[in-house]
Amino acid sequence: MEEKRTAASGNLLEIENLVIQYVSNDEITHAVNGIDLQIPVGKTLGLVGETGAGKTTTALSILNLVPAPQGRILSGTVKVEGNDVLRMNEKQLQAFRGNSVAMIFQDPMTALNPIKTVGDQIAEGIAVHKNLNKAAAFEEAMSMLELVGIPSGRAREYPHQFSGGMKQRVVIAIALACNPLLLIADEPTTALDVTIQAQVLKLINELRVKYQMSMLMITHDLGIVAEVCDAVAIMYAGKIVEYGTLEDIFDHFSHPYTKGLFDSLPNIEDRRAELKPIKGLIPDPTNLPGGCSFHPRCNYCTPECTQGEPFVRQLSETHVVRCNLYRDAGRNAL
């Protein structure tokens, strides 16, 4: 793998007022509802939320891969190095995907083509983006396998000959083959057992640091966030309800939903302590409640919360919360 390309200082990724819907059978799924996100050069953002919160749809928008015609991006901009991905033509997108931004998908079992060798699958992107012939691209693919801890001699084997953890290493090799500036990891350890999860996570983080990549880590696991992320965005029903540094979120969480996520974790210091799950379920995205989407599950709900959009308050230079509890300027924590 060649030395890392450098990006300009500042924010590598900037998402503003992104709204995405899916339309099918006369139903509208409100997947992403006006979010703003930034990832500085060389930093990692954790995007945290329950299944159905809109995390993967947000990630797909960064590659302009929201499936059409059902998926519709109604508004917003997604800029990487200042270039709006949503306004790129097909030729520009072909050069952009895998080269500037790459994605590790959450299920390695289905991410690989079963009838192509792993070496060929890694080499495919290398040949396209680096303009190499098949033999040279395959040589680089073998080097990528070594980089992720797989003997290069296995490049001519097929996915069914690899374990789940090894398949995920192959997927990581594919994502990193062309030196991306931004790596999107969509729940990359979900399908793996606990021991292999730790190995894969360690590998991703080491390679990110080594090659100075920015990363979007999509997960519902706060343990993963604590280990690899610099900043955290808490997502609920298609909106960012809290955003801050790792310290802001872990030491000074301020949204009732964020509090619920932490309260539902086991207490390793008191094994007899009962878990406190968040009541209810995430709302149906085809029928979101009025006002704050979290209000049906919130222990702090007021009549105001059932009406209009919740209040957004800047708690510090790095910490933002979307909640009516913070209309009082003197309030800083739950």
**Residues 307, 290 contacting (CB under 8 angstroms):** yes
Average per-residue pLDDT for the chain: 90
Q: How many angstroms separate the CA atoms of 218 and 192, rounded?
A: 16
Single-letter amino acid code for the residue at 14: E
The band of 189, judged by pLDDT with boundaries at 50, 70 and 90, is: confident
Q: Which of 13-22, 174-183, 195-204, 306-315 has the lowest mean pLDDT?
A: 195-204
Q: Which of the four pLDDT bands, split at 50, 70 and 90, describes residue 175?
A: very high
Tens of pLDDT, residues 4-41? 455 555 899 999 999 999 998 889 999 999 999 999 99
Order of strands, edge to edge, in the sheet holding 101-104?
A: 101-104, 182-186, 214-219, 44-48, 231-236, 239-245, 320-322, 312-314
How do residues 110-151 score in pLDDT, each as one tens digit? 889 999 999 999 999 999 888 899 999 999 999 999 999 999
Element (H, E) at 218: strand 214-219
Query: pLDDT tens digits for 152-167?
Result: 999 999 999 999 889 9
From 2-6, 185-189, 287-291, the region with the lowest mean pLDDT: 2-6
Per-residue pLDDT averaged across 233-241, rounded? 97
Least confident of 189-193, 227-231, 248-252, 256-260: 189-193
CB 49 within 8 A of CB 235: yes
pLDDT of residue 270: 72
- The rounded distance, in Å, linking the Cα atoms of 256 and 323 is 8
% of the chain beyond a pLDDT of 90: 69
